[in-house]
Structure 1
């Protein structure tokens, strides 16, 4: 497990070539996601699929907010949508978001996971099934255990796992739950996670 990343370490092990990135966050997640996505330049080519816990009784404005701050295109995911390169997708409130074997997105209204729908675990586990070792999973700040099992599944399937350092998370329950289940490849503060995403895209593309 590495606890720093600058992209220039001489002893840095070879990073894998990934085809997609999944990200999960809850309490404190808007600020954390903005910090890791702002450095991504226009033309970033990996798809990113994100779950941020939201109340499901109202329309989400996440895509609009992030579109105004980021250089990459951002949209709310649609059911049966084909995953496109270089796009940041946010799960819609009130629906679980899954990645299918044909690399399309799908909605469901199964039971909540840790009181949450959409669930980070459901996204991460389905994406691990679809992408296998070509997936990177990033788990950030949050106040429940959602995402811990999904992060472990990504690791089990050979993917790359990244967990925010709990000491620097607004809500440390979520990253600590992930650390209790597995040892991630990287345990990093937000600025280093941003650098890692940039490097993953450079290697993959």
Structure 2
């Protein structure tokens, strides 16, 4: 049973995220974490747009926040997000990973370390390699790992990097990612 869904992406991923959220069954309440590369120190309507497209309550992650069901959490710009053993978030401003902060790798790896087979990582469109190593780590810990179909991704560098270092991720188009999430045991 999946206890957390973590979605990572960069260039070309935003509309994919909206499609996934719109298509999710309204009975799903598994916490979702979205790590999206975005500009630092720029006021954004990111959370408001997400809120208009989901049945979840959307909020930006705060340090030491307790994770709850039916919540969609977004990684704040310029902070790495980690999951702690007590099911809270931890934020830090340590060095960039794959030129990114927040780093998808950092979040995938920490969630996998805590949740093992009870997490689902989804890596979408993006123009760098962030997320590939973290998704491999998650797969090795028996978590469910999905990459966006490289032929569908607007920028296939991210899902292709994940596929190149670990062949056993499930590669799905957005429609099938939605079906998979909707059919996951709860």
TM-score bin, normalised by smaller chain: over 0.9
Aligned Cα root-mean-square deviation (Å):
1.1
Q: 1:87 aligns with which of 68, 71, 76?
A: 71
Note if 1:39 corresponds to 2:23. yes
Distance in structure 1 (CA, Å) of the matches to 2:26 and 2:156: 31
CA contact (8 A) 1:120 1:147 kept: yes
Of stretches 184-193 and 172-181 in structure 1, the one that deviates more from structure 2 is: 184-193
Q: Counterpart of 1:78?
A: 62
**Structure 2 length as normaliser, TM-score?**
0.96
Q: 1:185 Cα shift?
A: 4.1
Trace 1:106-145 onto structure 2 (pairs within 5 A).
106-145=90-129
- Structure scoring higher RCO (CA < 8 A, sep ≥ 6) equals 1
Distance in structure 2 (CA, Å) of the matches to 1:50 and 1:183: 24
Trace 1:10-49 onto structure 2 (pairs within 5 A).
17-49=1-33
Note if 1:68 corresponds to 2:91. no
Note if 1:169 corresponds to 2:181. no
Distance in structure 2 (CA, Å) of the matches to 1:166 and 1:186: 11
In structure 2, runs of 5+ residues without a counterpart are: none
Distance in structure 1 (CA, Å) of the matches to 2:134 and 2:104: 7
For these two proteins, the number of residue pairs brought into alignment is: 186
In structure 1, runs of 5+ residues without a counterpart are: 1-16
Q: 1:40 Cα shift?
A: 1.9
Distance in structure 2 (CA, Å) of the matches to 1:86 and 1:183: 32
CA contact (8 A) 1:43 1:86 kept: no
Q: Counterpart of 1:154?
A: 138
CA contact (8 A) 1:141 1:172 kept: yes
**Structure 1 length as normaliser, TM-score?**
0.87
Helix, strand or coil for the counterpart of 1:155? helix
Q: 1:59 Cα shift?
A: 3.0
Pair member with larger Rg: 1
Q: 2:181 aligns with which of 186, 193, 197?
A: 197
